[in-house]
Chain A
Amino acid sequence: MNPVTGDAFLWISAVKILVVFGLLLTLIAFWTLVERRGAGFIQNRLGPNRVGPEGLFQPVADGIKNFLKEETLPPFADRFLFVLAPMMAFTPALITFAVVPFAAPLPTRWGLVSTPIADLPVGFLYILAISSLGVYGVVLAGWSSNNKYSLLGGLRGSAQLISYEVSMGLSAVAVLVLAGNITMNDIVARQQQSVWFVLPLFVAFFTFLVASFAETNRLPFDLPEAEAELIAGYHTEYSAMKFAMFYLAEYSNMITASALMVTLFFGGWDIPFTSWDNTPPWTLLKFAATFAAFWAKVLGFLFAYVWVRWTLPRFRFDQLMDLGWKVLLPVALGYVMVIAVAVWALEAAGMQFGVAYTLVLTALSLALGALLLLGLDRNRVIGGSAARQRERWRAQAARARGAA
């Protein structure tokens, strides 16, 4: 079956946008509830369960509340940027999802409908470009509020996002090396031919996971809002729907990051141990099954976000920078080198891309991953720069004593 062309392409795209947008917003709303009930469960209480069955309509009630609340505007705020900032946070968070393929192609009367809203040939670059725009919302919100706490939050947000963007991009380079392409559909197809990339690229997955937690400003990296120190950080001065926009942005960032991890490392819409789902002819059943598989994986990662949030305490700022620049960045860089060399060696040895090829890489990666995980030690890695300086002073003092 041929891809959709002509007029049908336009309106089918519009339908896709509406469906995906609705789906995302519903999932966001639902996940605010899951987060709160998950928090309750982890703390041995029930969480909000009053509105509707098991609290299912709580997000609706929250939404109504946010629409009816007063919109505050601080007198010394930069009015234009203050209003612009929530939109700047919210829009990139949503439109990043546009290139993620979330199911097998759907056959229709007008042709084969590919599942990403926009099947861009440069899908991965698009994601890198758009997702880093989200930081503007945080920075502008912090700056335009004319509030010290907000400004500090915005500052931390920009520092953090810039630091982790680097290692996130670099760890994804390993995926591109192995996939040999930057179209999301091709990355998924490569994983369907062999194994999910989480195995041959375990270290990259680990750095990507940590970086995506930092990118979404979630605990243990939620320093931009750090309520204990900064009230609410960059959105201190926001209320009602403007505040809700930041909230929605955080959750849609989570969904997009989860979808990215699934697509890059967990086979996208692939159903494991069978090739039934990824060979034509495409049917509605295959579409439904792969759709379910994709969202099941995404929900798993989303649950991990909630789970981690209520487990780990927040990093100190110097620890955050240490981890970003002194651990993740060198690891990601080195790993790209290792993978590139390994791929080159395998090609030189005349091996074709396939299961055996990826298993060799898996053995290499798991060994490196084990080394990395063993090496992630509080004293060695994140002592803080001051601690190391003190060691140096102590050594100097000891030398001086020895000389005297």
Chain B
Amino acid sequence: MAITVRTMSRPEAASSYVRATLQGMALTFKHLLAKKWTMEYPEQTSGPDWTLSKRWRGTHRMAVDADGKAKCVACGLCPQICPANCIKLIPGEDEKGNRYPLVYEIDEFRCVFCGYCQEVCPEEAIHVGVHYENAEYSREGFVYDLERLMRQPHEVSSLWDPSDPKGE
């Protein structure tokens, strides 16, 4: 018993091998000369067709006040809300009674980049950044301490604004 193969009955013009082949060849030749869409990444990180969104949520950055100290007051809201449990905070207090973080570490491997830490922060200290180039040579390198978070130079995310949902 032969294998049953369905063949559709098509009109003469649509079933001509020669015409279909020539049409296909013409099409591919057109594409051969057409505009190329490749973005050559390391040299070119954004272009007219593609840029990072202002709402992009990447690795964190800690805001710094006028004295060059971290804005964080160690209130403990960000480790509390963090769904991935990736923020480690040990609070301290100076002689004037101001709270500050003794230890502030974010494990970027555990982070899910939800941006809740930035949303919840009362001092606008911790931010998620508009940034994605994070290669490291070791796993330890992905635990960012306070110094490192303060040193990050990149833009910070604008997050999603409910009053301006389209970001206009």
Q: Which residues of A contact B (CB under 8 A)?
A: 38, 40-46, 307-308, 310-312, 316, 318, 373-374, 376-379, 381-387, 389-390
Contact = CB atoms under 8 A, between A and B. Distances in A.
A376 B16 contact: yes
26 contacts: A38-B32, A41-B31, A41-B36, A42-B28, A42-B32, A44-B35, A44-B36, A45-B36, A307-B28, A307-B29, A312-B21, A316-B5, A377-B12, A377-B16, A377-B17, A378-B10, A378-B15, A379-B7, A379-B10, A379-B15, A381-B17, A385-B2, A386-B4, A386-B5, A387-B5, A389-B2
Interface of B: 2-5, 7, 9-10, 12, 15-18, 21, 24-25, 27-29, 31-38, 40
Q: Which of A312, A379, A382 has the most CB atoms of chain B within a 10 A radius of its CB?
A: A379
Contacts of B15: 377-379
A384 B24 CA distance: 23
Nearest to A49: B40
A46 B36 contact: yes
A383 B7 contact: yes
A288 B29 CA distance: 31
Contact of B9 (A38, A312, A374, A379): A379
Contacts, number: 69
Contacts of B4: 386, 390
Contacts of A382: 17
Contact of A311 (B24, B35, B38): B24
A192 to B, nearest CB: 30
Identify the 8 closest CB pairs spanning chains A and B, nearest first.
Answer: A378-B15, A46-B38, A387-B7, A311-B28, A386-B5, A376-B17, A384-B5, A45-B38
Interface of A is mostly: helix
A386 B7 CA distance: 9
B36 A312 contact: no
A228 to B, nearest CB: 18
A390 B38 CA distance: 49
A38 B36 CA distance: 12
A196 B12 CA distance: 34
B18 A44 contact: no
B28 A318 contact: no
A383 B34 CA distance: 35
Q: Which of A42, A45, A374 has the most CB atoms of chain B within a 10 A radius of its CB?
A: A42
B21 A41 contact: no
Contacts of A46: 36, 38, 40
B7 A44 contact: no
B118 to A, nearest CB: 37
Contacts of A44: 31, 34-37
B40 to A, nearest CB: 7
A44 to B, nearest CB: 5
A59 B83 CA distance: 49
A318 B29 CA distance: 29
Contact of B2 (A40, A45, A386): A386
A42 B2 contact: no
A380 to B, nearest CB: 8
A381 B18 CA distance: 12
A253 to B, nearest CB: 22
A41 B34 CA distance: 8
Nearest to B13: A377
Q: Which of B24, B27, B32, B37 has the most CB atoms of chain A within a 10 A radius of its CB?
A: B32
Contacts of B34: 44
Q: Which of A40, A46, A311, A373 has the most CB atoms of chain B within a 10 A radius of its CB?
A: A311
Nearest to A38: B32
A386 B3 contact: yes
Q: Which of A46, A378, A385 has the most CB atoms of chain B within a 10 A radius of its CB?
A: A378
B32 A45 contact: no
Given A44-B31, A374-B18, 9 more contacts: A40-B36, A42-B28, A42-B31, A42-B32, A45-B36, A378-B10, A385-B2, A386-B5, A390-B4
Contacts of A390: 4
A376 B15 CA distance: 9
Nearest to B15: A378
Contacts of B25: 307-308, 311
Nearest to B31: A42
